[in-house]
Chains A and B, each alone.
Chain A
Amino acid sequence: MSPLVSIEGLSVAFNGVPVLHGVDLSLRKGEAIGLVGESGSGKSVTWLAALGLLPRHARVSGSVRLDGREILSAPAATLDQVRGGRVAMIFQDPASALNPVLTIRKQLCEALALHRDLSGDALKVEARRLLDLVGIPDAARRLSAYPHEFSGGQVQRIMIAMALAGNPDLLVADEPTTALDATIQAQILDLLSQIRREMGMAMVLISHDLGVVAENCDRVAVMYAGRIVEEAPATALFDDPWHPYAQGLIGALPPLDGPRRRLTAIPGTVPDPSKMPAGCAFAPRCTVASEQCGVGAPSLAPLGDARAVACIRAEASRRALLGIAAE
């Protein structure tokens, strides 16, 4: 099956400082893929760049194909058809994601008018149906309300309704629940998975929260300093991470039950994009790094069953981890 979206060698630089170094990622129809990483890892930039949503001073190169058609250098009119129509996106901060001076109806109908052949009353009926679908009570009346009259969780529901307006094949959710309380986060994630089941929509879930990604995605890509360092099926990644950074991330997460253990903190901090170390960007923080690691950045190499890792010391690192676990 040909991929729905395939990203190849996507690179981004801001004012001459590279922040994304050749990202490859592909996505099948209906698949849910998670992108995890800490701030500055490039997980959001990847998708903002793919959809042409970065500010004008960003230099973007590489290739992004949707159903085989290149969209990275496509004319604005084509991109406007893709955005919201084929690929929709929702963002982190619900408080400022909607235009404060326009009613919900206006913002919903705008999306509907752009991507669906609807007008007049049919528009309003559809807008109401979408609000119902995402669980906003009293939809008919609430359509004429402004964003500030809704809670954070409700705004995120409205954002989802707006994203669904164009019947997209892919929803890119960029930290959709980070600003929300735990019980509201559960509601939103539940809604997303229910909608995905019903509409057969693919999803990219961008999050810093390993748990959120693990629970809601089929496949996970771990990003560090502008590169994908490991890609694997969700269960495989969390049971048996290969890349030292992925191992570190999972080890840094305190357990919720079972015995308490000391957290395996990754020493040091994420490198500054303008002072990237030569070779593997993680090497300075890596416990199993060798001299070789400082020579060249390792590329993402396939590793049997649908996995890939960018680390020349992956084998050693995995042995070290299993060794500790066996003690």
Chain B
Amino acid sequence: MGRYFAIRIARALLTIILVVTFAFVVLRLSGDPSLMILGPEAPPEVLAAFRKAWGLDDPIWMQYVDYFGAIAKGELGRSMRDGRPAIQLVLERIPATLALTLPAFAFKVALGIPAGIYAALNRGSAIDRAVMITAVAGFTVPSFVLALLLVLVFAVQLGWLPSGGQEGWRHAILPIATLGLGGAAVLARFTRSAMLEVLGQPYIRTASAKGVPWRKVVTSHALPNAAIPTVTVLGFMVGTLIAGAVVVESVFAWPGVGRLLVVAVANRDLAVVQCILLLVALTMVTSNLIVDFLYGFLDPRLRAKGAHA
């Protein structure tokens, strides 16, 4: 069991190293940083001094090592626009994004999973069909369309809610609903098919044949098995907590990480973009790690594979 987790952690670290290396390569490929920061009209002696100060004259492997050292210390360069450390800019925006994505995540889980389970248990019923139609609509409609639709109905037509900005909790409702509805649809579909798969397994029939009441067959035999594939989707959703709201933040003018990314890309603010990308990679890797850990707890077969291998 310890071995299973050790292998997973090693793999996660390796992924992070690869991502950082990738970022380093991309940065070096995108041109001479001294030129980019000081501009093409800078006098050559200034450029030389800058290069020396930032170690750009060092051999490439040394720069690579330094780059790692800097990242480990959280030094990710300064924003070209206001000169503040990029990491600080990004960190400032995280609470705003989480204020949308965390409630949306809770919404997805609270709505999607029970809907999926219910649909699977009542396969073919009117409710099952309603859930499935909603689910298909939910994830074929792009989030900006859904967002505009919600704005049209609840802000423009009914006038119940504001259409954008960040002045109070009422401003968060439409962005959260946009994020949550799509995710709940995806989750409902996954949960339903996972449940149907499990309900068709011989061990479910075995449980019924030994006299376990149906309600208990579902809770103690079907759900633990259906949880295994569902966790994968949940893990992916955790991975998008930071950067999954780019579109929605833009539509609703919500000042989160996603909007910062859009602005930074538009301004070619490389340090900020790099910082966000690293942060996204970090959350993705972490959520994958959490999923792997959960697998280990949920599925004894995987645990054994890691242990005996």
Given a CB threshold of 8 Å, the question of whether A touches B is answered with yes
Task: Give A contacts to B, CB under 8 Å.
Answer: 51, 53, 57, 76-77, 80-85, 88-89, 91, 93, 96-102, 110-111, 114-115, 146, 148-149, 159, 162-163, 165-166
Question: A-B contact count, CB below 8 Å?
Answer: 82
User: In whole Å, how far is A256's beta carbon from the nearest beta carbon of chain B?
Assistant: 32
Closest to A52 in B: B208
B224 near A80: Cβ-Cβ < 8 Å:
no
Q: Whole-angstrom distance between the alpha carbons of A254 and B28 in the complex? A: 76
A115 to B203, CA, bound (A): 19
21 contacts between A and B (CB under 8 A): A53-B205, A76-B214, A77-B213, A80-B211, A80-B212, A83-B211, A84-B209, A84-B212, A88-B210, A89-B209, A91-B206, A91-B209, A93-B202, A98-B206, A99-B221, A101-B224, A102-B224, A110-B210, A149-B304, A162-B210, A165-B210
Looking at the assembled complex, report how far the CB atom of A165 sits from the nearest CB atom of chain B, in whole angstroms.
7
Rounded to whole angstroms, the CA-CA distance of A89 and B207 in the bound complex is 10
A100-B301, A101-B300 in contact; A111/B211 too (CB < 8 A)? yes
A100 touches B124 (CB 8 A): no
Within 8 A of A (CB), among B99-122: none
CB–CB A85/B225 < 8 A: no
Query: Is the Cβ of B210 less than 8 Å from the Cβ of A97?
Result: no
Residue in A closest to B297 when the chains form the complex, CB atoms:
A101
- In the assembled complex, the CB of A4 is this many whole angstroms from the nearest CB of chain B, namely 18
Q: Bound state CA distance, A77 and B221, in angstroms?
A: 18
Known: A57-B124, A93-B202, A100-B203. A148 touches B210 (CB 8 A): no
Query: Knowing A96-B201, A99-B203 touch, does A83 contact B301 (C-beta < 8 A)?
Result: no
Across-interface contacts of B299 in A (CB, < 8 A):
100-101
B298 within 8 A of partner (CB) = yes
Closest B residue to A106 by beta carbon equals B220
Chain A residues with CB under 8 A of B298: 101
Chain A residues near B300: list those with CB within 8 A.
100-101, 146, 148
Chain A residues, CB < 8 A from B202: 91, 93, 96-97
Distance in Å from the Cβ of A106 to the closest Cβ of chain B?
Answer: 9
Count, chain B residues at interface, CB 8 A: 24
B301 touches A148 (CB 8 A): yes
Proximity bits, B264-307, A CB within 8 Å = 1, else 0: 00000000000000000000000000000000001111001000
When the two chains form the complex, which single residue of A81, A100, A102, A149 contacts B211, counting CB atoms closer than 8 Å?
A81
Complex Cα spacing A91 to B202, Å: 8
Residues of B within 8 A of A88 (CB): 209-210
Instruction: Return chain A residues, CB-CB under 8 Å to B304.
Output: 146, 148-149
Q: What residues of chain A lie closer than 8 Å to B201, measured between beta carbons?
A: 96
Report how far A84 CA is from B217 CA in the complex, Å.
14
Report the minimal beta-carbon distance from A203 to chain B, rounded to whole angstroms. 15
Q: Mark B194-232, 1 if CB is under 8 A from A, else 0.
A: 000000011101111111111000001100110010000
Other 9 A-B pairs with CB < 8 A, given A110-B220, A111-B210, A162-B206: A57-B124, A83-B208, A91-B202, A99-B203, A99-B206, A102-B221, A111-B211, A114-B210, A148-B301
Contact among A77, A83, A100, A115 for B209, CB-based, below 8 A = A83
Shortest CB distance A118–B (Å): 15
Q: Which residues of A contact B220 (CB under 8 A)?
A: 102, 110
What residues of chain A lie closer than 8 Å to B225, measured between beta carbons? 99-101
The smallest C-beta distance from A134 to any residue of chain B, in angstroms, reads 15
- Chain B proximity of A173: nearest CB distance (Å): 12
Residue of B202, B213, B298 contacting most chain A CB atoms (<10 Å) = B202
Q: Tell me whether B211 and A82 are in contact (CB under 8 A).
A: yes
A209 to chain B, nearest CB (A): 20
> Which A residue's beta carbon lies closest to that of B303?
A146
- Look across to chain A and name the residue whose beta carbon is closest to the beta carbon of B300: A146
Contact of B203 among A51, A82, A97, A163 (CB under 8 A): A97
Give the distance in Å from the alpha carbon of A165 to the alpha carbon of B212 in the complex. Answer: 13
B124 x A163 contact (CB < 8 A) = no
Could you tell me the distance between the alpha carbons of A102 and B221 in the complex, rounded to whole angstroms? 8
Q: State in angstroms the CA–CA spacing of A166 and B214 once bound together.
A: 18
Q: Which residues of A contact B209 (CB under 8 A)?
A: 51, 53, 83-84, 88-89, 91
Identify the interface centre among B206, B220, B304: most chain A CB within 10 Å of its CB.
B206
**Which of B202, B206, B207, B209 has the most CB atoms of chain A within a 10 A radius of its CB?**
B209
Shortest A81–chain B CB gap in Å is: 7
Q: Are A83 and B210 in contact (CB under 8 A)?
A: yes
Q: Name the residue in B202, B205, B211, B224 with the highest tally of chain A Cβ atoms < 10 Å from its Cβ.
A: B211
Whether the Cβ atoms of A84 and B211 lie closer than 8 Å is: yes
A148 CB, min distance to chain B CBs, angstroms: 5
Closest 9 CB pairs of A and B: A84-B211, A84-B210, A89-B209, A146-B300, A83-B211, A99-B203, A111-B210, A96-B202, A80-B211
